[in-house]
Amino acid sequence: MSEHRRRSPGRNSASHRPNFLLPVTAVAITAILGVTLAGYLVLRATRPGPAAVIAAVLPGSRAMEVLEQQRQQMIVMEAASHTMHLVGIPEVAAIPDPAGAVSFPAPDPGTAQSIAWNMMSSFGFDPNSQFGCLNDIWTRESGWRWNAANASGAYGIPQALPGSKMATAGADWQTNPATQIKWGLGYIQSIYRTPCSAWSFWQAHGWY
């Protein structure tokens, strides 16, 4: 009897132990799952998944509309900046039309300029409107000196290159201003049509 009584309490405590641990384990597992699920939901709410990102940039989405509006605003601002820049550039004065040459007074008689003035009409040039251009060219080329020589071989008032070209206007081309002027006016007529057209070319290139 004494052994039976000592063993009975041990069996009873062993049979009741599972009944106590099962509810505790279930509660713990439930709590862990709840915490895990809550953390997942929080992460998902704060960080959009690939599907949300793709949906945000698809055509027709609100995000795409905002991006398009910003792009259009940038285009407008860029165009406006270029317009302001162009407006701020000062305009360069246009080169006067050679046809609108200013009248030039007749030069003093006996000078090379006077010979050219009187000879221009025979080449179809109006000295009142064209002599100023001719004077600008030949003043720069030779200073109206019949013996003006250049190291390149150019010679005379019109600076023919070579000077011997002027022999077609007269055998005295080396010493006679009238012969040199005659050749020079014929050269201008054949190449540039008028002295003012030749002057425009000279201004752009430094020679004619």
Predicted pLDDT at 53: 45
17 and 110 part of one domain: no
Q: Is the pLDDT of residue 109 over 90?
A: no
Domain tally for the chain? 2
Task: Evaluate if residue 89 carries a pLDDT over 50.
Answer: no
Say yes or no: 31 and 118 in one domain. Answer: no
**Among residues 91, 120, 93, 89, which one has the least CA distance to residue 104?**
120
Q: Is residue 113 part of a domain?
A: yes
Which of 53, 87, 121 lies at the terminal end of a domain, its last residue? 87
pLDDT in tens, 136-181: 999 999 999 999 999 999 999 999 999 999 999 999 999 999 999 9
Are 80 and 105 part of one and the same domain? no
**Nearest alpha carbon to residue 143 among 163, 159, 125, 123:** 159
Tell me if the pTM is above 0.85.
no
Residues 122 and 157 in one domain: yes
Residues 39, 82: one domain?
Answer: yes
Question: Is the peptide bond preceding residue 162 cis, with omega within 30 degrees of 0?
Answer: yes
Same domain for 198 and 104: yes
Residues 71 and 143 in one domain: no
- The answer on 132 and 64 residing in a single domain is no
Of 33, 65, 87, the position where a domain reaches its end is 87
Q: Report d(CA 146, CA 155) in Å as an integer.
A: 8
Determine the Cα–Cα distance for residues 139 and 145; give it in Å rounded to an integer. Answer: 9
β-sheet bridge partners, residue 160 = 155
Residues 162 and 66 in one domain: no
Q: H-type helices in the chain, by residue range?
A: 2-46, 50-57, 62-87, 112-120, 127-141, 177-192, 195-205
Considering 63, 87, 111, which residue would you say is the last residue of a domain? 87
Q: What is the pLDDT of residue 79?
A: 53
pLDDT in tens, 7-22: 444 444 444 445 555 5
Range of the domain at 34: 2-87
| 117 and 190 assigned to the same domain | yes
Based on the fold, state whether residues 71 and 105 are members of the same structural domain. no
Please tell me the distance from the alpha carbon of residue 54 to that of residue 67, in angstroms, as a whole number: 14
- CA dihedral for 61, 64, 69, 70, sign (positive or negative): positive
Query: Is the torsion defined by CA of 150, 191, 206, 127 positive or negative?
Result: positive
Q: How far apart are CA 167 and CA 137, in angstroms?
A: 21
Say if 195 falls within a structural domain: yes
Are 68 and 142 contained in the same domain? no
